[in-house]
Structure 1
Amino acid sequence: MFNLKYDIMKEEVSSSLDILLNRLAEWGNTLVENLPNMLLALGVLLVSYFMARYISKGVSKLVQKRVPQKSITNLISNLTTVVVVLFGLFLALSILDLNDALMSLLTGAGVAGLVVGLALQGALSNTISGVVLSFRKNIRIGDWVETNGFAGEVVKINLNNFIIKEADNNKVIIPNKTILENPLKNFTLTNKMRVVLGCGVGYESDLDRVETLTKNTVKECIEQVESADDVEFYFEEFGASSINFIVRFYITSESAIEKLRAKNTVIKAIKKAFDKEGINIPFPIRTLEFSTGLDLNAKKVAEAFSTN
C-alpha cells in the first residue's frame, strides 16, 4: 500500500516537472523569437528618454523668451518631458504587441486623471489661470495694476497666485482664478496719466482770477504741462461753504506713485498761490440761528446773575 502511494506521488511530481520544463521551454522559445522586438522596444525607450531631455531643454529656452516666471517654464518643461516619455512607452508596448496592456494603461490613466481632476479642481483652475496670465502681453512683471480692491506693482506670477506690492510695501497674494474673473486696470499700458484734483474757494472770490491763477500754477509746477491751456478747469457746484472746482491735467508716467507726487506738488503750489493773492479756501462752516423771542440783552443778563 505504501509503495503504491509512493509510485503515484512520483508520477505526479514527474508530470508536474515535465509541465514546468515544457513551459520554460516555451517561454525560452518565445523570448528568443521576441528578442529583436524587445531590444527594439528597449532602444525606443532609451531614445525617447534622451530625446525628452533635449526637447525639454529646447522648450525651456523658448518659453523663457516669452515668460519670465521660472515656475511656468519648469512646468511646461516637465510636461514636455512626460509627454515624450509616455509616447516612447506606448510605442514600445506596441512593438511588443502588448495592445491589451496598452489599453489597460490608457484606461487606468484616464480614470486616475478624472479622479485627480475632480479632487483638485480649485488648484488646477488656479494653475491653468497662472499659465494663461503668464502668456498675456498686457500683464507683465513690474506693471502697476489695480484689481480686486488692491493696487500695486506686479512682483510675481506663480502657478497658483498673483503677487502685487502695494505703495506701503505690503505684498498682496491673490489667487490667479480671481484675477481672470475680475476686471484689472493696468496703469503701465500707457505712458500718460490724468491727475484730477478738487478744491473750493470762498463765495467772495473772483472766479475768473481763480481759474487763471490755478491753470498758471499747475503749468509752472508740473514740467509735463507745456501750456496753461492744457489744464482743464471746471467749477462744479455751489457748496455749503465754498464754490467747488476740479482741475485736470496729464503727466507722463507709468507708475501710480508719480500721480500721488504730482498731486502733492500741485496742492502745495495752489495753496501758496492762493494765500499770496488773498484767495480764501474755506473750511466747512455751520451757522446756528436762535429765534426764541427772548430778550437776550447782555447787560440785563449780567445784572440778573449779579443779583443772584
Structure 2
Amino acid sequence: MKDINDAVELLWSKLEAWGEHIVLMLPNIFVALVLLVITFYIAGFVRNWLGKFINRFSHSAALNNLILTMLHIGMLMIGFFFVLSILNLDRVVISLLAGVGIVGLALGFAFQDIAANFISGTIIAVQKPFGVGDMIETNDYFGVIERITLRTIDIRKVTGELVRVPNKMVFENPLTNYSIHGTRRIDLEVGVSYAEDLEQVQQVVIEALQDVKNRVKTRDIEVMYDAFGDSSINFKARFWVSYSRQVDYVSAKSDAIIKIKKAFDANDILIPFPIRTLDFAIKGGEKLSEELQAVNAVLKNGQQQGGQS
C-alpha cells in the first residue's frame, strides 16, 4: 500500500511540475502560435506576389512552380525553427537539422536517377532549346513534343505512339530540332541514263521543281551530279521547304518526285533500270540451249527405261 501511495505522490508531483511549466510557458506558446500564423500568411503572400513577378521573366510553368514551391517551403521551415526556439526547444531544432541532412544524403543516393532527371529538367527549362509543338529527334525517337515536365519529355511519334523520354537522356544525348528555323532542305536522289545531255537534265529538273508544294521561293534549287552509278549518272536535287509538321516535308518530297517524272517523260529523258547479268555456271562457253537439250535427253531416257521395266 505504501508503494502505491509513493507512486501516486510521484506522479502528482510530476503533473504539478508540468502544469507549472505550462503556465510559465503560456506567453511563449501564445507568441509561437502568433508567429506560426504570421509565417503562413507571409509565405503565402510572398508566393503569390513573386508568382506574378517571375512570370515576366520565365515562361516555363514547371520551373516557376518549382521555384515558388521551394521558396514557400523554405519560409515555412524558417518560421517553424523560430517557433521551436521560442518554445525553448533548441535541441529539437539541432536534431531536426541533423536528421534532415542525413535523410537528404540517403535520399540522394537512393534516388540519384530521379535527381539527375530533375536537375536536367531544370537546366532544360532555363535554356529552352525546344518547346511544346516542336518536331525533334533524340535517342532514336522522332516526333512532336506534347508536354515538358521537370522529369520527362512527352514525344508523340509520327506513327501515333506517345513516348516519355527521361530528361537525363535528352540532356546527355544529341538532339535535332527540325522546327527551330521553320524551314528544311530536301535532298532528292535521282539517276539518268549515260546517253542524256547532263546540262539539259539540270535545266529540266530546276524548271520542274519551281512550283513544288511549300517550296521557299527565296532559296535557289540546286542540281548537283555526284556519282557514276552502275547503270546511271546520279545527281541530287536540293531545295528548301517551309516546315512546321512532318507532313510538310513528306508531301513536298512526293510532289517533287511526281514533277520530275512528268518532266522527264515530256523531254524523253530516260531513268534507266538497273542491269543484272545472270550466271548459270555453264562451263567451256557452251550455249544454254545445248545444255537444256542434253538435260531433256537424259530425262526422256530415264522415262523410257522406267516404262520398259
- The answer to whether TM tops 0.5 is yes
Distance of aligned partners of 1:278 and 1:292 in 2 relative to their CA distance in 1, 3 Å threshold: farther
Unaligned runs of 5+ in 1: 1-5
How big is each residue's C-alpha offset from its partner over 1:68-87, in whole Å with a ceiling of 9 and x where there is no partner?
A: 55x65554444333222111
Q: Which amino acid aligns with 2:251?
A: R
Unaligned runs of 5+ in 2: 302-309
Cα distance in 2 for partners of 1:223, 1:176 equals 34
- 1:36-47 to structure 2, matched below 5 A, reads 36-47=27-38
> How many pairs were matched up?
294
- 1:75-154 to structure 2, matched below 5 A, reads 75-154=66-145
**Conserved? CA contact 2:214–2:242, under 8 Å:** no
TM-score scaled to structure 2, two decimals?
0.82
Residue in structure 1 matching 2:284, options 258, 277, 292 = 292
**Conserved? CA contact 1:126–1:177, under 8 Å:** yes
2:159 maps to 168
Cα distance in 2 for partners of 1:152, 1:64 equals 29
Cα distance in 2 for partners of 1:131, 1:100 equals 36
**Conserved? CA contact 2:63–2:150, under 8 Å:** yes
**Conserved? CA contact 1:221–1:266, under 8 Å:** yes
How big is each residue's C-alpha offset from its partner over 1:262-292, in whole Å with a ceiling of 9 and x where there is no partner?
A: 1111111001110111111122211347783
Q: Does 1:236 align with 2:216?
A: no
1:265 maps to 255
Distance of aligned partners of 1:279 and 1:58 in 2 relative to their CA distance in 1, 3 Å threshold: same
State the secondary structure of the residue aligned to 1:196: strand
Q: Does 1:216 align with 2:207?
A: yes
**Conserved? CA contact 1:189–1:254, under 8 Å:** no
State the secondary structure of the residue aligned to 1:97: coil
Cα distance in 1 for partners of 2:288, 2:245 equals 61
**Conserved? CA contact 2:154–2:163, under 8 Å:** yes
Q: In the TM superposition, what is the alpha-carbon distance from 1:130 to its structure 2 partner?
A: 2.5
TM-score scaled to structure 1, two decimals?
0.82
Cα distance in 2 for partners of 1:126, 1:40 equals 42
**Which range is displaced more, 52-61 or 261-270?**
52-61
Cα distance in 2 for partners of 1:97, 1:296 equals 109
State the secondary structure of the residue aligned to 1:141: coil
Q: In the TM superposition, what is the alpha-carbon distance from 1:100 to its structure 2 partner?
A: 1.1
**Conserved? CA contact 2:191–2:234, under 8 Å:** yes
2:177 maps to 186
How big is each residue's C-alpha offset from its partner over 1:134-173, in whole Å with a ceiling of 9 and x where there is no partner?
A: 3332211111111111111100113332111122222222
* Sequence identity (%): 33
**Conserved? CA contact 1:230–1:249, under 8 Å:** yes
Cα distance in 1 for partners of 2:245, 2:44 equals 42
Q: Does 1:156 align with 2:147?
A: yes
- C-alpha RMSD over aligned residues: 3.2
How big is each residue's C-alpha offset from its partner over 1:72-129, in whole Å with a ceiling of 9 and x where there is no partner?
A: 5554444333222111101112223322111001111111111222212222222332
Q: Which amino acid aligns with 1:270?
A: I
